[in-house]
Structure 1
Amino acid sequence: MHVGNVKDCDIKRHPTYPNFRAEAIRSGVLSAPTSRLWESLIAMGRLGDLAGDDTWRLVVLDCIVPCFRSLSVQVAREFRVELEEIRSAMVVTALEVWAATASGVSPRLVRDRMVKAAFDVAFRRGRTGTPEYTTDRLDIFVPPEAPDAGRSLRASSIIDVGQVRDAEVAEQIRGERLGALLHGLGCFEAVQGFHEEMRAGRRSGSISPAVKTSGLARSRFSNNNLYYYASDLYPSFIGLREAAHVIGLPESTAYRLIQAGEFPVPVARAGNSYKVSVRALMHFTDIPDAIVHADDIENGARHARGATR
């Protein structure tokens, strides 16, 4: 990166900022204390602070924040707290560490201290935060279809879960709506098998005990072991072609983005192919991963097929 007047530089072959940022992110993840790039980044930030210029400090922050994303999503999901609140606390904490390490701390250590403090505050906020009951809508799961006058319940009903103030009612509606949708898609038999295995104790959902005991409106009288994330019904990974189709990219473009390290969703190499995490894909495409109860799912499917309880 240019320091001072670009016209006075003798090199003339500096990277573009996106390339520079991508390399800084990779270097930070691999080993920030041994990275000359990060040592230079921190040093430039300190010089900028002395000159009253916050440009390089913002560059440092811009290259650190991407590593906050996955952890903040995990904490918000496990403890049912607001994602933006967690991320804001992480950024503020990172900047506080930046100020606290202005003197007496080697530039090699600053980046890792900022990240560690941000991670610590994320978990503290998660454990002490007030659980937020999700008001995610499941309407976007619904494929285009012609109106069916004979259907007793559709997933995209006139009830807007986001407007339901009673958390217990909203929780039940989410489950029943998804159950009705699964019945409409013709895949409820597989879901029923999933539920039977849960009831028999042969498998369980991915909800953490902390969420079961504090983050669910009806857990005081519902069987906690029958709560699960909607994503538990889907395969853990899908192929790159399917993932690219969901995102809206040609498969060839997806391959190019992976080679450049710019594919928007983490991918795993499986032999000569790539696999994409379904949960990561859902997060990227804003598909809600609601917590549901097996009883609600079954009630919704039962109502959709016109049976009585």
Structure 2
Amino acid sequence: MPDIFDRIGWKVREIFGEDLVCVHVGDVKECDIKRHPTYAKFHTEATSAGIRSAPSSRLWESMIAMGRLCDLDGGDTWRLAILDCITPCFRSLSTRISRDFRVEREDVRSAMVATALEVWRGTAMGVSPRHVRDRMVKAAFDVAFQIGKANGSEGSMDDVETFIQPGFHTQDSALRASSIIDVSSIRDADVAEQLRGERIGALFQMNGHFDVLRNFHTALRNGSRSGSVSQAVRTSGLSRSFISDPNLYYYVSDLYPSFIGLREAADVMEIPESAAHRLIRAGQFPFPAARAGRGYKISVKALMHFRNIPDAVVHVDDVENGALHANGGP
């Protein structure tokens, strides 16, 4: 009968299907590394790689970072993928515990997964990504033995050693903490919304990046791409009578690259790049850093959250009006 391990595997394969998987930035199209496997091949590599080798260490660092980024976005795709790549080494132990201590195998496996997830939540800060998987595995093994011993069986078994195995795209724009004007004191929501958009347009125009806006807006209008604002948001109080099209709302973060390099992120954080590297190695970096080759990629949305930069919803008309005014137009 299918158990929790099977159900996790089925769910992850349903999510990824036969598409190529990118563990560096999460999007094959935006990744600088051009070779990507399907999830089936990725799963095989992740579960069989030796934790002491540098390439496999980087692989698992990237997986942990992608899991943390998914957590920030309220998703669970990469957390499930991490579990799916860990649980193969749980199978033989859970079977032995079930047999030797006469406990239900499904109970043991469910407890192992629940414990691994508790460790996942507890290691979000202060633990280096390269150690997270080891802790998840060890805790799951420990709880399996506890369940067996609590059952009171007189059967004996040898001690089991923990099985350890793994384990800019750029646009012509720059992220700045001053990107959004604070309009929280304005009571009229329509006015506040309009000012936010105009402020963005003015800033991009004054910094010489209006081409970024023009190209993005053109793509929105001709349907070759869409903003990340959902239909529900677009139709819930964001539609003003004088705008051209209520579907042309988007988040400010859509104008920025999804990921930037660690050097650029350190500049925004106002710390030296060497300090950023030390924080990552110590597991104290304030948000996930995804491994990409020998370097790191930093999520712009996570960086904006760290700097308390609101990811405002704006409309193309307001943004273009602000750029026009900044350029000396009517």
Q: TM-score when scaled to structure 2? A: 0.47
| Highest RCO, 1 vs 2 (Cα 8 Å, sep ≥ 6) | 2
TM-score (norm 1): 0.50
